[in-house]
Chains A and B, each alone.
Chain A
Amino acid sequence: EVQLVESGGGLVKPGGSLRLSCAASGFTFSSYTMSWVRQAPGKGLEWVSSISSSSTYIHYADSVRGRFTISRDNAKNSLYLQMNSLRAGDTAVYYCARILATHLDQWGQGTLVTVSS
Chain B
Amino acid sequence: ENVLTQSPGTLSLSPGERATLSCRANESVSSSYLAWYQQKPGQAPRLLIYGASSRATGIPDRFSGSGSGTDFTLTISRLEPEDFAVYYCQRYGSSRFTFGQGTKVEIK
Chain A proximity mask over B81-108: 1 for CB below 8 Å, otherwise 0:
0000000101010011111111000000
Q: Which of A59, A104, A109 contacts B47 (CB 8 A)?
A: A104
Contact status A45-B99, CB under 8 Å: yes
Contacts known (A102-B32, A102-B33, A103-B92); A44 close to B99, Cβ less than 8 A: yes
A32 sits at the interface (CB 8 A): no
Q: Which of A44, A47, A108, A109 contacts B96 (CB 8 A)?
A: A47
Contact status B97-A47, CB under 8 Å: yes
- How far is the CB of A20 from the nearest CB of chain B, in Å? 15
Contact status A107-B96, CB under 8 Å: no
Contacts known (A44-B101, A44-B102, A45-B88); A103 close to B47, Cβ less than 8 A: yes
Cα distance A105–B84 in the bound complex, in angstroms? 21
Instruction: Tally chain B residues at the interface, Cβ within 8 Å.
Output: 24
B74 sits at the interface (CB 8 A): no
Contacts known (A95-B44, A95-B45, A110-B44); A105 close to B56, Cβ less than 8 A: yes
B62 sits at the interface (CB 8 A): no
Cα distance A109–B33 in the bound complex, in angstroms? 24
- How far is the CB of A3 from the nearest CB of chain B, in Å? 12
For B56, what are the chain A residues with a Cβ–Cβ distance below 8 Å? Answer: 105
CB interface residues, A 47-87, toward B, < 8 Å: 47, 50, 57, 59, 61
For A109, what are the chain B residues with a Cβ–Cβ distance below 8 Å? Answer: 43-44
For B33, what are the chain A residues with a Cβ–Cβ distance below 8 Å? Answer: 102
Cα distance A50–B98 in the bound complex, in angstroms? 13
Residues of A bordering B, CB below 8 Å: 35, 37, 44-47, 50, 57, 59, 61, 95, 100-110
